[in-house]
Amino acid sequence: MIWPSDRRLALRLADLRATEVAFDVDQDLVARLRSLAIASSADPTLVKGRWKRRVGAAIGAVGVFGWAGAAAAGASVGLVSTGSLPDPIQNVVADVLEVVNIEVPRPVSSVEIVPEPAEEVPVEETPPAEPPVIEPTPTTVIEPDQPEEEPVDEPVEEPIAPPTTTLPEESDEGDLDAEESPGRSEEAPGQTGATPGQSGTTPGQSGNTPAQGAEPPGQTGNTPGQSGSAPGQSGSNGQGNGNSDNAPGQSDNNGNGNSDNAPGQTDNNGNGNSQGNPNPGTPPEQSNGNGNGNGQSNSQSGNNGNGRGVAADEVDVTPPEAAPATEDTPASPNRGNNGNRGGQSGR
Amino acid sequence: MADRVSVRALKRGEASEWSKFVGDIGPKIVGYAHRMGSRDPDEVMGATLEAVARRIGEFEGGAGDLRSFVFSIAHARIVDDLRRNTRRSEVSIENTLDLLEADEPNEETFSDPDLLAALERLPKEQHRMLELRYVVGLSTRETAKAIGKSEVATRVALSRAFAKLKDLLSEQLRAESSEAEVAS
């Protein structure tokens, strides 16, 4: 027995090729295969063209999207610059653009209040005071039917003169030059008292209630310097000084309302002076009274409110500028002036 | 042989190259299909060449790679043919006669019936590898590419298939000798 070796077995396997029958090549088959091969070889070019089209489409898409994105960005920036967007979005966009140093308006609610130094209220130029008509010795006549406020016998508080309403030369006590300090009540009836907080030692000084001065017959200085603080503003400190030299027929009511609020908050100063000069020989019904109330308020908005009121039945001396204020204060008999609501703070 | 065929010329569709390629590879495909049990080797050959022509544009490689490519397609077609024949419940008379004639031993086509019988007893995968490696004449690497395995795995599988083929042939010889002794 001859066992098949590996080499012999491999040769026997190779001899099986001899069983392969050669055949004549069919030309139709060759022609068909040629056409198929050409068509197959043409595919790579189609693939390349397909890639070109894809690249072109991608570039076109990028262009379209870029154009749309630029348009959207422009519209957004336009809306932001005009502050037309809703507050939260406006705030966010403002924060984002702030990074690139582009300032856009923020919503009003988000604007921080920056304290500003108190502006000096320009002192109103008043014409030179006319020679005083009032007698230097005033007397106060109290009407029996009018509720009389008992003069508060309290120690006089040191006046705190608001810098905005007081001229330096007017702050000196006893300097009652009518020409230089308009509003001196004793010399210029009806003028605004420019020395707020000057307190006389006589009764009638009102302490805590600004401008709640003693009300002599015929004269009333009602709450000058009421500081109306804007809601939500810080609490105001009110100091009120009322001076009343209540000689018969005369009263000087000075009321100051100073509110030292939080920095930058409303600074309301109110001065109210009221003078009543009944002539000594004049009955109380014919008393002359001048009342002025100045209120100055410095608020953020910078509004100053001044109110002057003169009302008198028989006014002997009436400053020219006091006349228009009579609309607010209806005349009352036996009462001189009402300087009401001077210094309603502007908001 | 296919090594003289220019793949680039085939891609361009040159008629002479295609004639040479069909004349060279066609008989191999037919023999391979026949030995692998295909009932219609010519149909397998035509389908294989047609598939090669359709995909020649995507093919990258040399002549050896082209042979691996061709026989991988041929094997797929043979498998399809075998499956189609097993599913086919009704066949025509002509096909049946052809099949009967093909099953009969033929001196021209089956010169070594013992070897063919031993190959038939091998598993299909080992039979296929031995056909491609020793009958068709592909290298181990080309065989590996044709059957879709790694070269190392193909080498090991070829060794095992070859050893098993030897065992089958030895058993066959042993059986023949014992029969001869009994007969004598």
Question: Facing residues of A276 across strands?
Answer: A289
| Domain boundaries, given as residue ranges, for chain B | 1-104, 112-184
Residues B128 and B151: their CA atoms lie apart, in Å, by: 15
- Average pLDDT taken over every residue of chain A: 58
pTM, two decimals, is 0.40
What does the pLDDT read at residue B15? 87
**What is the least distance, in Å, from the CA of A44 to any CA of chain B?**
7
Enumerate residues 99 to 138 of chain B having a beta carbon within 8 A of any beta carbon in chain A: 108-112, 115-116, 130, 134-137
Give the helix/strand (H/E) hosting A255: strand A255-258
> How far apart are the C-alpha atoms of A181 and A177, rounded to whole Å?
6
| Fold assignment, B1-104 | Rna Polymerase Sigma Factor; Chain: A (1.10.1740)
Of the two residues A130 and A205, the one the predictor is more confident about is A130
Alpha-helical regions (H) of A100-230: none
Q: Output the pLDDT for position B79.
A: 86
3-state secondary structure chain B: CHHHCCHHHHHHCCHHHHHHHHHHHHHHHHHHHHHCCCCCHHHHHHHHHHHHHHHCCCCCCCHHHHHHHHHHHHHHHHHHHHHHHHHCCCCCHHHHHHHHHHHCCCCCCCCCHHHHHHHHHCCHHHHHHHHHHHHHCCCHHHHHHHHCCCHHHHHHHHHHHHHHHHHHHHHHHHHHHHHHHHHC
Chain A, residues 33-62, CB within 8 A of chain B, namely 33-44
pLDDT at A20: 65
Q: What is the pLDDT of residue B51?
A: 92
Q: Are A269 and A164 in contact (CB under 8 A)?
A: yes
- Cα–Cα distances in angstroms (integers) from residue A108 to residues A91, A266, A301, in the given order: 10, 19, 15
Strand partners of residue A271: A256, A294
**A13 band by pLDDT with thresholds 50, 70 and 90:** confident
Q: Quick one: pLDDT band at residue A346, thresholds 50, 70, 90?
A: very low
pLDDT higher than 80, residue A47: no
Any B CB within 8 A of A4 CB: yes
Q: Give me the pLDDT at residue A127, please.
A: 61
pLDDT value, residue A339? 40
First to last CA, chain A: 128
Q: What is the pLDDT of residues A270-283, one digit of tens each?
A: 454 544 444 544 45
Contact A336, A266 (CB under 8 A): no
Tens place of pLDDT per residue across chain B (184 aa): 445 678 888 888 888 889 889 988 888 898 888 888 888 888 899 999 999 999 888 888 888 888 889 999 998 888 888 887 776 555 555 655 565 555 444 544 556 788 888 888 899 889 989 988 988 888 899 899 888 889 999 999 999 999 999 888 888 888 888 888 887 7
- Among A162-166, A310-314, B142-146, which is the least confidently predicted range? A310-314
CB atoms within 10 A of CB B103: 9
From residue A51, give the alpha-carbon distance in Å to each of A46, A47, A54, A56, A63: 9, 6, 5, 8, 18
Nearest residue of A to residue B59, measured between CA atoms:
A41
Using the predicted structure, report yes or no on whether residue A96 has a pLDDT greater than 50. yes
Is B31 within 8 Å of A36 when comparing Cβ atoms?
no
Q: A168: helix, coil or strand?
A: helix
How would residue A310 be classed by pLDDT, with cut points 50, 70 and 90?
Answer: very low
CA distance B9 to chain A (A): 10
Task: Reduce the DSSP state of residue A321 to 3 states and report it.
Answer: helix
pLDDT band at A109; cut points 50, 70, 90: low
Given B11, B23, B130, which is nearest A13 (Cβ)?
B130
- Of A9-13, A70-74, A178-182, minimum mean pLDDT range: A178-182
Chain B, nearest residue to A4 by Cα: B166
pLDDT at A22: 67
Determine whether the interchain pair B19/A25 forms a contact, defined as Cβ–Cβ distance below 8 Å: yes
The shortest CB-CB distance from A21 to any of B27, B56, B57 is to: B27
Give B-chain residues touching A35 at CB under 8 angstroms: 13
Is the alpha carbon torsion for B145, B150, B155, B158 positive or negative?
negative
Determine what percent of chain A is predicted with pLDDT higher than 70.
Answer: 27
Please give the share of chain A, as a percent, with pLDDT higher than 90. 5
pLDDT of residue B157: 93
Q: Which has more confidence, A110 or A194?
A: A110
Whether residue A87 is predicted with pLDDT greater than 50 in this model: the reply is yes
pLDDT digits (tens, 9 = 90+) for A20-29: 666 777 888 8
Looking at domain B112-184, its CATH architecture is Orthogonal Bundle (1.10)
A75 interfacial to chain B (CB closer than 8 Å): no
Closest by Cα among B138, B50, B154 to A17: B138
Confidence of residue A71 (pLDDT cuts 50, 70, 90): very high
Residue A225 pLDDT > 90, yes or no?
A: no
Q: How confident is the model at residue A149 (pLDDT cuts 50, 70, 90)?
A: low
**Residues A167-195: what's their mean pLDDT?**
46
How many angstroms separate the CA atoms of A319 and B24, rounded?
133
Partnered with residue A140 across adjacent β-strands are none
Picking from B54, B169, B170, the nearest residue to A36 by CB comes out as B54
Residue B140, amino acid: T
Work out the average pLDDT over A259-278. 47
- Contact list, A29 vs chain B (CB under 8 Å): 22, 46, 49
Residues of chain A in contact with residue B30, where contact means CB-CB under 8 angstroms, are: 20-21, 23
Residues from chain A that touch B34, judged by Cβ atoms under 8 A, are 19
Say how far apart CA B38 and CA B79 lie, in whole Å: 8
